[in-house]
Copies of this chain bind each other. A is one copy, B any other.
Amino acid sequence: MENFTFYSPTFFVFGKQTENEAGSYVKQFGGSKVLIHYGGNSAKRSGLLDRVINSLKKENIPYIELGGVKPNPRSGLVYEGIDLCRREKVDFILAVGGGSVIDSSKAIAAGTVYDGDFWDFYSGKLIEKALPVGTVLTISAAGSEGSPDSVITKEEGMFKRGATGNAIRPKFSILNPELTQTLPPFQTAAGITDIMAHLYERYLTNTKDVEVTDRLIEALLLTMKQEGPKAVKDPNNYEARANIMWAGMMAHNNSCGVGRSQDWNSHDIEHELSALYDCAHGAGLAVTMPAVFTYVMNHDVMRFAKVAVRVWGCQMDFDHPENTALEGIEAFRHFLISIGMPKNFDELGAKEEDIPKLVDVLCNGNGRTGSLNGFVKLDEKDCTEIYRMMI
């Protein structure tokens, strides 16, 4: 195991009706003027925004609103939010939504107290200072509610890039599984896929002797395998939603990923797809992961065999472990299809002829220098081959 530090100071409030406590937590964490940041109209229509606003009113905390965050959140709205927060002297940002809203909130929080262009953070600069952020989560997927990360897409060039820093870890996150019950099955399944991707990206490591984190990742994958289909089949299954919601946080706060190298090639390869086609990140991952895993499998056959046996229930082929490894990847692929995820470029809305452009932005855009450096080093030729496997 490698040396590491781990810090997850977010205060989690989990369970039914907990969004009504948002105001008291804003107060507890020092907010005196709040920006409520949210996405489309569903938060308004469902009454969620009203409940959150009422909880602020009860504490006499003034607020302003900024809606309009889209999936794959854009830099334009972030700049708008930063201006607004400075003008209105906002000192706390309350994200009401899913990963996109939280990521946009984190970007605004960091940018408001930064003299330069906030995009610096998405080009590699560590975020060391930010306004405090709280969240009311409405989708189990990104894990942004417990992570130090944010992903934003820059309109100019359609670069989708990440930033990180403990300063943007939410002060509190309110996780009410009821709020996810209104999600349609496709969005639910895309969230499940994203959570499983966060687990696989950590599982694919080159660090030896990491049994504790291997086991924790497998535990969360097994949870998703068992509870995921229940939530897709019956959106009102509170218990399945609750199990998924806690698994989604644990999958990405990094307690199961410490002390080991991680992959993240699948995320990088997918980011170009959702940036260009504006598809759901989870849907893009569903098409990307089986292709990437099949391509890199021989780098460590026993690791793929291990997840196949322990998570997917495959029988170990002791004479030909590669058969077991492949069987596990296929089991994962079929699981994703069974919950309604797309299986290829066509179903995703991606186009074969765009592959050269995808590969170029992926490998050379915005600071990259010709390759991805995760579990396996992938150059332009590798990435081209992987995209071709998704056709």
A contact set with B: CB distance below 8 Å: 1-16, 18, 177, 208-213, 215-216, 218-220, 222-223, 226-227, 239-240, 242-244, 246-247, 250, 255, 258-259
Please judge, given known A-B contacts A15-B259, A219-B219, A258-B14, whether A212 and B246 are in contact too, CB under 8 Å: yes
A185 → B minimal CB distance (Å): 20
Q: Does the CB pair A209–B239 fall under 8 Å?
A: yes
Q: Does the CB pair B215–A1 fall under 8 Å?
A: no
For A211, the chain B residues whose CB sits under 8 A away are: 223, 226-227, 243
For A13, the chain B residues whose CB sits under 8 A away are: 5
What is the total number of copies of this protein in its complex?
2
Q: Does the CB pair B3–A18 fall under 8 Å?
A: yes
Please judge, given known A-B contacts A211-B226, A219-B219, A246-B212, whether A15 and B8 are in contact too, CB under 8 Å: no
A19 → B minimal CB distance (Å): 12
Q: Does the CB pair B5–A8 fall under 8 Å?
A: no
For A15, the chain B residues whose CB sits under 8 A away are: 1-4, 259
20 pairs, CB–CB < 8 Å, chain A vs chain B: A1-B177, A1-B239, A1-B242, A2-B15, A3-B15, A4-B14, A5-B12, A5-B13, A5-B14, A8-B8, A9-B9, A14-B258, A208-B239, A211-B226, A212-B219, A215-B223, A216-B216, A216-B220, A216-B250, A246-B258
**Which residue of B has the minimal Cβ distance to A2?**
B15
**Which residue of B has the minimal Cβ distance to A253?**
B255
Please judge, given known A-B contacts A209-B243, A223-B212, whether A12 and B7 are in contact too, CB under 8 Å: yes
Chain B CB count within 10 A is highest, among A4, A211, A259, for: A211
**Which residue of B has the minimal Cβ distance to A4?**
B14
For A7, the chain B residues whose CB sits under 8 A away are: 9-12
Distance in angstroms between the alpha carbons of A13 and B14 in the assembled complex = 27
A209 → B minimal CB distance (Å): 4
Q: Does the CB pair B258–A255 fall under 8 Å?
A: no
Chain B CB count within 10 A is highest, among A1, A13, A177, A220, for: A1
**Neighbour of A243 across the interface among B14, B212, B226, CB < 8 A:** B212
Q: Does the CB pair B250–A212 fall under 8 Å?
A: yes
For A223, the chain B residues whose CB sits under 8 A away are: 211-212, 215
Distance in angstroms between the alpha carbons of A239 and B214 in the assembled complex = 14
Distance in angstroms between the alpha carbons of A14 and B3 in the assembled complex = 6
A25 → B minimal CB distance (Å): 10
**Which residue of B has the minimal Cβ distance to A9?**
B9
Distance in angstroms between the alpha carbons of A5 and B211 in the assembled complex = 28
For A8, the chain B residues whose CB sits under 8 A away are: 8-9
**Neighbour of A210 across the interface among B4, B6, B243, CB < 8 A:** B243
Please judge, given known A-B contacts A223-B211, A250-B216, A255-B255, whether A14 and B6 are in contact too, CB under 8 Å: yes
Q: Does the CB pair B209–A215 fall under 8 Å?
A: no
